[in-house]
Amino acid sequence: MLVVDDHAVLRQGLAALLVDSGAAHEVLHAADQAQGLALLAAHPDLDAVLLDLKLPDSEGLGAITAFGQQSPSVPIIIVSASEEPGDVRRALELGALGYVPKSASPDTLLSAIRLVLSGAIYVPPLMLEAGEDHASAKASALTPRQTEILAAIAGGGSNRDIGQMFGLSEKTVKAHISAIFRTLGVSSRTQAAAAAQEARITPRPVPASPHAVEPDAEGW
């Protein structure tokens, strides 16, 4: 695991927590974006990157894009002093899979890391405290493509129809739907459509392709 933060004490504290808890066997340290990207290039098999938003050589949220472009398969978890809902929302939109305020407890951080490593997305409670309902807070963590696909699911589209609409293979559509289910905490298309409605995502009608087989209500 890689910790990128310009405060040495915080890096060392995080590293000790991760190793002592068993969440990581080895933790690499970087004080800025350049060092972090160099370590990421040298260790492409890292489990995750714990990234601060305020680094001396990057402009806040731009670091998420830099790390994401270099190693798209390595999950990014933001650990930041900022508790602004707008920062959380933007970080998740840019590809971070979790956002943990530095004021959070060690147990919260470890739970968030485990959740992200299991394939889900961690959305901090502050999003709900800011007045966002649960569905909207979770939906804000979807990528733009996943939001489009969720709207198409709500519109009753089959995997084949959705794939044809967006120029995607059915396998890719299924992968997106699986990620959508994990993020929203649902297990069926019916539940996903209901979550879309709660999040005020407008259903998107999908033209049916010839001989398309409609998905089961509880399947994907």
- The DSSP secondary structure of 189-213, one letter per residue, reads HHHHHHHHHHTTPPP---PPPTTPP
Which one-letter DSSP state was computed for residue 6? S
Per-residue model confidence (pLDDT) at position 214: 47
What pLDDT is attached to residue 136? 73
Q: Who wins on pLDDT, 86 or 162?
A: 162
- Name 205's Cβ contacts closer than 8 Å, sequence gap at least 6: 155, 156, 157
Tokens of 198: 């709660």
Span 2-132: which CATH code? 3.40.50.2300
Q: How many residues does the chain have?
A: 220
Top-ranked range on mean pLDDT: pick from 33-37, 67-71, 91-95: 33-37
Please give the pLDDT value at position 218.
Answer: 42
Residue 145, judged by CB atoms within 10 A of its CB (0-12, 13-18, 19+), counts as: middle
| Model pTM score | 0.67
With a pLDDT cut of 90, the percent of the chain lying above it is 55
Q: Could you report the per-residue pLDDT of 114-169, keeping only the tens digit for each?
A: 988 887 788 887 765 555 556 677 787 788 899 999 999 999 999 999 999 999 99
* Domain boundary assignment for the chain: 2-132, 142-220
Q: What is the largest CA-CA distance in the chain?
A: 61
pLDDT given for residue 22 in this prediction: 92
pLDDT given at position 161: 93
Sheet holding 76-80, edge to edge: 28-30, 2-4, 49-51, 76-80, 98-101
Strands 98-101 and 28-30: unpaired
Residue 139 CA to residue 149 CA, distance in Å, equals 12
109 pLDDT more than 80: yes
CATH topology assigned to domain 142-220: Arc Repressor Mutant, subunit A (1.10.10)
- Quickly state the pLDDT bin for 211 (edges 50, 70, 90): low
Statement: residue 195 has pLDDT above 60: yes
Instruction: Give the per-residue pLDDT at 115.
Output: 87
Among 18-22, 134-138, 208-212, the least confident range: 208-212
Structure confidence by residue, pLDDT tens digits, 34-69: 999 999 999 988 999 999 998 999 877 889 999 999
Using an 8 Å Cβ cutoff, are 23 and 57 in contact? no
Per-residue model confidence (pLDDT) at position 216: 44
Is there a contact between 27 and 39 (Cβ–Cβ < 8 Å)? no
